[in-house]
Each structure stands twice: as structure tokens, then as C-alpha cells.
Chain A
Amino acid sequence: MTLNERQQQNEALRSEFLRRSGVDVSKCYQCGKCSAGCPVGDHMDIPTNKIMRLVQMGLIDEAMQSSAIWLCASCVTCTTRCPKGVDVAHVMETLRQMAKDHNCVAEKNIDKFHTVWMNILHKMGRMYEPGLIVGRNMVTGNIFQDTSFGVPYLAHRKLKLMPYKSNNIDEIKRMIEKAEAMDREEGGAR
């Protein structure tokens, strides 16, 4: 497939990306500073500046399917140092949100971790760490991940065993549902 054809195929995704991110990626002149300062760069399949280039070229599908956008730790070093003031971290974030909505998540376990987190928030209104670890291990199938820390955590009196459930959990639930509905509406992908 020619570049032209690929760009045409990506037209809807490209306008969705522009609408959702609000970032003017045309300002990027490919200096590579974002990749140079990226603490996760060593592990990425596509370096940050190349993700920027893909987005500039309108090849959103390729960027969206990368594992790089999920390995991004949201440390925001790229945005902070961009000489053109491009919010690179927000580009990565928008691509993550779109990958989720378009069902093309390359790093399933990272995504599942976030899902477990959000499910706990729905139920309790606060994070419950034992629930997060157990929940993550169930959905990822890595049953024993970090379980060796359980006993030391208890010994160091660092684990809150009983979850806190908000007195106003209905208010918090309503709020979360409303916000998520608004995100879906504006995402417009599902």
C-alpha cells in the first residue's frame, strides 16, 4: 500500500486524534529531544519522536498499535523540554485513550492494571492496595506477582487490610459515571 493510500485509510482516525488531543503536531520539527530525555526510551518499540512523526504523517493506526504509548510513564519530560512547546505527553495519552476505544491495545497487562484500578474506585471511592494486587494478578494470570511482598508489608505495618468505603459512595459513583459518559461522548469512538 502506498503512503497516500495509508493516509486516506487513516483520515477518520486523524481527525478524531486532532479533535481529542487539541495538539498541533505540525509544530514538531523532529529534533528528537523527546526521545533523548525519555527514561523509558530503551524499552520502546518506536521512539517518541517517531511516534510524533507518524502522527504528523497521519498514520494514527500505526502509532496507536505501538507498545511505546503504553510504556510511556507519563513523566512529562518530553513536553517539558520540547523546544516547540508541543505537548508530546498529551499526544501519547490521547493515543492510549484511542487505542483503548478502538480495541488495539498492544500492552494488555498495563491496560488491565488500569481497569482493575478504576473498578476499585467505582466500588470504594478510594484505592485499596491488596485488592489492586490480587485483582491485577487474577486478570493478568501472573498469580504470584509481588505476593512475596505480602508478609513483609504486614511485618512493616504498611498494608491497610480493611478497605475504606466512602460514606458518600453514591455521590462518587454518580460523579464517576457522569465523567465517563462525557468522555465517551467526546471520544465518540464507541
Chain B
Amino acid sequence: MDYAYFPGCSLESTGIEFHMSAKAVTKALGINLIEIPDWNCCGASSAHTRGHWISLALPARNMAIAEAAKLDVAIPCAACYARSKQVEVEVSQSAETRAKIEEIIGRPYKGESKARNLTDILYRDLGVDKIAAKVVRPLDGLNVLTYYGCLMTRPPELACDDVEDPVSLDEIMKALGANVLQWGFKTECCGGSLTACRPKVGLDMTQKILDAAIKAGADCIVTACPMCHSNLDMRQAQLAKHDHNYHMPVFFITEMIGLALGMKQKDLGVDRHFIATEEVMCKLEEYEQEQIQKMMNEGGEA
């Protein structure tokens, strides 16, 4: 399974764990990611506030480079995915748009190379059975909440999962052995860039999600968006100043897969989170010990 790979800007810095774990996990699962040479920023979350053509042109260049290599593009970041999918859909639906985009970027792009969300590739192209088959350290006993945010599921014409009740992260987490809890905030907005440019409003949105996660009794949140991860993980310290203390670990889906596949925390970037993940790791270990003990006891009785 070969894909062109577009990590996007966040995955080189604040979302570096997603980059590290995506590369490690895909390799282990037999998915070959070929990074687009000299890719550029897709423009999220600013270009679309400026104009239509600038918002399409930026991701179009990356897509055109991938199309020249006849590859679909695997995109871990939800925002990069949505921007890239937008230009793919618009170019493939309108000859006029295609002509204009090709004129702007100075490269051919027919919209044949598809923008694919990495989680969707894992869920649909590879399939959860193939992931489950490679699990050596099941996440049994771990209570997780899946958090999709906005851009994997909206708008509907770009969505890679159900708009109101997406399941791809849920199904992958179940395949890893985790206990997936239900809540009403799967697709609620975390505030996106508002935490950076209008903190009072943005932090309020982030806080609502964390409060709901605590109320649901989760051990951790699992996401597939670097913006959501950054807001939920990093901003907990800021919220603690205003309100009570927060301690809700937030993982990328690929980190979770990597852990279940027996990979080391530092190889996945798990040690780089703002909110320490020790408790989650301890819980997994304790559960494993309990199971071993149980098995030994049962063996003794028999």
C-alpha cells in the first residue's frame, strides 16, 4: 500500500508525536508513506478567511506533486485533510476551477490524486482486523473517549466518516482492546485557532470538552487532529489557573496503535505530551498483571 504523505506544518512541531507515531505505525502495518518533496503549508486556518483562490491554491500544489507520482495522499492532520480534500473535490467537479487552479499553481492537477485521511486509511483500506492481528499488548481495561473534532466529519461533502456519529476511531480503539465510552462531544469544536487569537472564547470551548471527558469517567481522550491535541493537552495548564486542576491525558490514535503494537513510548513521542501519561501506562500494566495473576490462579485450581 503506497501513499504520498503530507504531514503538514503542525506535525513538524507542536504535533510532532503524530508524525513520529504515524510513521512508526504505518511501517509496522505495511503501509508505505512517501513524503511529498518540498511540500508547502495547506493554508489552514488562515488562508480561507482571506479568499477562495488562495485557500485552494496552497493545497493544490501538494496534490499536484502527488498526482505526478500517481499516488493518493495520506494526511494525518484533520485540517490539512479538509483543505486538501476541498481542492480535490472542486477541481474534479469543475473544468473551469481546474483550469484556474492549474494556471495559478503552474502545474497540471486533474483531481485524480485523492486526499485521504490517515485514520480513514487505517480503518477502511487496511481494516481493523489487520490492526487487531498485530496487537501484542492489548489496551484492555482502559476507558477511552474518542474525539473527532470538526474537520474529519464536516462539511459532509468532504467528510471521511459519518457527520454526526463517526466510528473510525471507536472501531480502531476497540480492535486494540480498549473500552470505548460514549459521550456527546465526539464532533464538538475545541475552539481551533481561537485559543491563540481570542483566548477567552477559545479556552471556554476547550474547557467544555475537558469537563465532559472528566464527567464521562475517561482515563484519556484519543484524537486524530494536531490542533485538537494541542488545545486539549497544552491548554489544561492555563485552565487550571482559572478553575480547578485538570489532568486528562490526550493521545493521538497512532500513538495508541503503537502502544498496542508493543512500541516504546519515546519512539512514538508519548513522552512529549504536556499532560503526563504515566497513569495510563500504569493502569495498562496493572491490568496486565491482574490478568496474569487470574490466569495463574485458575491454572492452580485446575
Contacts and interface: CB of A to CB of B under 8 A. Distances in A.
B132 interface: no
Contact of A113 (B38, B52, B53, B196): B196
A175 B106 contact: yes
Contacts of B58: 121, 175-176, 179
B297 interface: no
A8 interface: no
Interface residues of B, number: 56
Q: On chain A, which size bracket covers the interface?
A: 35 or more
Interface string A35-55: 000011011000000000000
A179 B104 contact: yes
Given A107-B198, A121-B40, 19 more contacts: A39-B191, A40-B201, A74-B49, A75-B154, A75-B189, A77-B189, A109-B197, A113-B46, A121-B41, A126-B9, A127-B10, A136-B196, A158-B13, A160-B12, A172-B61, A179-B56, A180-B53, A182-B53, A184-B51
B189 A183 contact: no
A187 to B, nearest CB: 7
Contacts of A146: 196
Interface stretch (A10-18, A25-33, A58-66, A162-170): A162-170
Contact of A156 (B163, B196, B272): B272
Interface in A97-114: 97, 100, 107, 109-110, 112-114
Contacts, number: 165
Contacts of A175: 57-58, 61, 104-106
B16 to A, nearest CB: 6
